[in-house]
Amino acid sequence: MTIKSLTELKTYFELGDRPTEQQFEFLIDSFSVSSIGYQENIVPINQILCDSAIKIISSSGGSGNIFLISDPQIAQGVDGQKLILMGKNDSDIITLENNRGLQLIRNFECTSTSTIYLVYVHSKFKWVEVSRRDSLSDGTLLTVNDEGISLSSSVTSLNFIGANVSASNSIPGQVDIVVSGVSPDYVSHFNTSDGETNATINDFAVSSRNIASPVSEGLPYNIGSWIAGSQYNCINNSIISYSNIESFSILNNIDNTLTVNVYDANDTTILATHQVILTGNIDITLNNIRIQILNFTSDFTQYKADTIISININNIISTGGRFSIEIINDTITNGTFVKTQGPIFYDPNSNLSVLSGLSIVETPAMIVTKNISGVIYYTIGSNFTVNIADIDYLNDRSYPNTQIQIVGIEYGLPQLNLTGSDLTNWNNLYNDINDSYNKTNWEITSINFFTQSISANISSRAIDWINHGYINSTNTNILIDTYSNNNTGVFQDFRNEINRYQSDLVTSWNSSTNLSLIDSGNGLQLKNSQLIYPTEDFTIYNPTLGSQPDYSLSSGTKIYYSEFIHNGISHSNGRFQFGDYNITETNITNNDCIIEISLNGIDWFILNLLYPGGVISDGQGCRVNNGSYNLSLNNQIEFTFGTGKFTDATSGSSGWGLWYRISYADNVDGRNLNIGSFEIINWV
């Protein structure tokens, strides 16, 4: 047994310290009642009278023994009552007789400088001497724990002194000793992160929406002090749920409570409430509020648990309206912890919006067109008139900023997001009806866009908690092309006919002319950035319904003439690359597609045939390295002009170029070929 001074014992509990197991043992060994404030009750043995708690029965005086036995009047004390005897002189010996109410474990000499301490233990119906730790025999009076682990079970009283040490009777039968700054690692209090967990509760998800004006306050819903038409937090869910991210702290399992309140639009009237005492796992529903306490378990000297709170707000305010939520955890002695959210607006969205009479037509004098291969297309800048004849039930209690969407994807038109102010006859009243919409300048803005459709339409829908289904306009046949020119001296993507020539290689191509009426009707068609054989009847399409060309009866080989130029640079060969095409090497071999080049427009060299070597003449092959460059391997075909021939200041239309012509045969394969782009990749 090791005895330490009070001064040293106190150092174990200074700010920031955590006593070790050995230090707690020193504390118990060094413990004495005289150190904890009962010194004023010491009664010298020669002052004990018959009416005192203990009476002297006999004394031999001098060095004789003094014998004490229990007096029937005082045999039973009050639980925890203390009695202190002090020796008269150095030779006094006090004996407390066993089994007579006053019980001393063994005889010992009590000098004038020593003291006998007794405590009454009600559970044992006897007085027990506690002068020294080694004088105890039953070992069940007091157990001292360190973080829940027993250090000693033979202690009857403890007192901790110092501003940094505090004790609390948090659990019946147990006193918790805490050194300031060295508190146990408890989980956090409700809706906080002040401990070892994040016990906060997230807000229920809301949406910022405009509140429709009720017919009158309470009819059919309350908005309180809110201003109709302004934005507030809203929900559409009929069930609201809350839960702690992690477990929260519960001080005890006797009287701690959790209360849920739902308030009306005035923020004071309680619409529904539910309170539970946190005694363990719970799952109780009351007043449309369900409280679940889960995973209830001890947390050092306290408790912890998880919670799920579900509120059936639709049953509480079935017609909707403004409300607020309050959740209170009252620990009685350790503070009150609160989670609030609100005010919030509940919108049951019982009436769905209705749209009817959607239409789209050209806006007169605001149409822009373009011609390609004799076909007329709408293009960038064309304007259309859109109309919705009737719109009902837009404002069902609450509504978003965008209430209606109109999409014109097939027209290349930008999406229209309409607010109430965009509509005719609209107001912010609950269930507003008989609105309409009209816009005359809905303009095509999509670039590099193409549409050829016999069922083009626009669509519209109401936007609410759940977006409604689309309604469509009447189907229309339309052609739209907004592709811009990407051609360069060595690249052609067939978006327009700026660099296209007629077969004389002098006359530029007229894109407005019907293909059957230009260059003997032998021209290939450009459509949707593709070089194709003309096979379709376009008379059924807007923008000039009935006056478009009909190419369905086209026949014979069709040809496209153009040139590539690399100014100031002479080339004796080159390598074509094809993009977005369906031509195969088989088509080249079978002459379904014939590709030819020329320096002077007279002598044409054929890429479908291999270069024979030396100087080549009109009609001979010019393809080289077909094993390394072909359509199957890398989309390329390499050519040569043969010995002694190259581009120069006289080649092409104005020097430094080559002519090329592409022909599609009038057969099944030829009529289905297409090339999306064509370029010389090694002329830089």
pLDDT in tens, 166-224: 666 555 556 666 665 445 689 999 999 999 999 999 999 999 999 999 999 999 999 99
Q: Is residue 220 reached through a cis peptide bond, with omega within 30 degrees of 0 on the bond before it?
A: yes
Q: In this structure, are residues 378 and 543 in contact, taking their beta carbons and an 8 Å threshold?
A: yes
Residue 294 CB neighbour total at 10 angstroms: 14
209 beta partners: 232
Q: In this structure, are residues 482 and 379 in contact, taking their beta carbons and an 8 Å threshold?
A: yes
Instruction: State the residue for tokens 């001292």.
Output: 144
Q: In this structure, are residues 478 and 451 in contact, taking their beta carbons and an 8 Å threshold?
A: yes
Of 231, 276, 279, whose CA–CA distance to 258 is shortest? 276
Instruction: State the residue for tokens 């088989």.
Output: 586
Give the CA angle between residues 500, 501, 507 to the nearest 5°.
Answer: 135
Q: Which residues of 183-212 are buried (b: 16+ CB within 10 A; e: fewer)?
A: eeebbbbbbbeebbbebebeebebeebbbb
Cα dihedral sign, 26-29-30-31:
positive
Helices vs strands, H then E, count in the chain: 4, 48
State CA 185 to chain mean position distance.
31
Query: Phi/psi at 319 (nearest 5 deg)?
Result: -90, 5
Q: What gap in Å lies between CA 198 and CA 203, rounded to an integer?
A: 14
- What percent helix, strand, coil does the chain show, rounded to 5? 10, 40, 50
Q: What gap in Å lies between CA 660 and CA 665, rounded to an integer?
A: 17
Q: What gap in Å lies between CA 665 and CA 335, rounded to an integer?
A: 92
Q: What gap in Å lies between CA 568 and CA 647, rounded to an integer?
A: 9
Token code pair at residue 515: 């293909």
Q: What gap in Å lies between CA 499 and CA 509, rounded to an integer?
A: 8
Instruction: State the residue for tokens 């819903």.
Output: 221
DSSP state of 661: E
Q: What gap in Å lies between CA 413 and CA 405, rounded to an integer?
A: 13
Q: In this structure, are residues 660 and 597 in contact, taking their beta carbons and an 8 Å threshold?
A: yes
Q: In this structure, are residues 160 and 36 in contact, taking their beta carbons and an 8 Å threshold?
A: no
Q: What gap in Å lies between CA 530 and CA 375, rounded to an integer?
A: 14
Q: In this structure, are residues 106 and 131 in contact, taking their beta carbons and an 8 Å threshold?
A: no
Instruction: State the residue for tokens 């190259």.
Output: 646
Query: Low-confidence residues of the chain, pLDDT below 50?
Result: 1, 32-76, 86-114, 132-140, 181-182
Q: What gap in Å lies between CA 353 and CA 464, rounded to an integer?
A: 8
Per DSSP, the residues of 394-418 read: --SSEE-S--EEEEEGGGTEEEEEE
Give the CA angle between residues 608, 613, 617 to the nearest 5°.
Answer: 65
Using CB atoms within 10 Å of the CB of residue 301, give its burial: 0 to 12 exposed, 13 to 18 middle, 19+ buried: buried
Percentage of residues of the chain with pLDDT beyond 90 = 71
Q: What gap in Å lies between CA 87 and CA 48, rounded to an integer?
A: 11
**CA distance to 346, 524, 574, 660, per residue, from 505 (Å):** 75, 15, 21, 10
Which amino acid, 650?
Answer: T
Of 236, 232, 284, whose CA–CA distance to 257 is shortest? 284
Question: Given its phi and psi angles, is residue 226 left (phi above 0), alpha (psi -120 to 50 degrees) or beta?
Answer: beta
Instruction: State the residue for tokens 């450009």.
Output: 526
pLDDT in tens, 87-143: 444 444 444 444 333 433 333 344 444 455 556 566 655 556 555 433 333 434 566
Query: Phi/psi at 135 (nearest 5 deg)?
Result: -95, 0
Q: In this structure, are residues 412 and 480 in contact, taking their beta carbons and an 8 Å threshold?
A: yes
Q: What gap in Å lies between CA 343 and CA 226, rounded to an integer?
A: 10
Q: What gap in Å lies between CA 620 and CA 603, rounded to an integer?
A: 9
Report the run of H or E that residue 315 belongs to, with start and end: helix 313-316
Average pLDDT, the chain: 85
pLDDT of residue 88: 41
pLDDT in tens, 493-507: 999 999 999 999 999
pLDDT of residue 27: 75
What end-to-end distance do the CA atoms of the chain give, in Å?
99
**CA distance to 86, 258, 358, 595, 666, per residue, from 656 (Å):** 129, 90, 57, 20, 33
pLDDT in tens, 250-275: 999 999 999 999 999 999 999 999 99
Token code pair at residue 31: 């413990």
**CA-CA-CA-CA dihedral for 506, 511, 514, 518, to nearest 10:** 0
Q: In this structure, are residues 394 and 432 in contact, taking their beta carbons and an 8 Å threshold?
A: yes
Report the run of H or E that residue 211 belongs to, with start and end: strand 207-211
Q: Is residue 343 reached through a cis peptide bond, with omega within 30 degrees of 0 on the bond before it?
A: yes
pTM for the model stands at 0.70
Give the CA angle between residues 164, 166, 167 to the nearest 5°.
Answer: 165
Q: In this structure, are residues 469 and 433 in contact, taking their beta carbons and an 8 Å threshold?
A: no
**CA distance to 172, 199, 206, 238, per residue, from 348 (Å):** 49, 31, 14, 7
Report the run of H or E that residue 298 belongs to, with start and end: strand 289-299
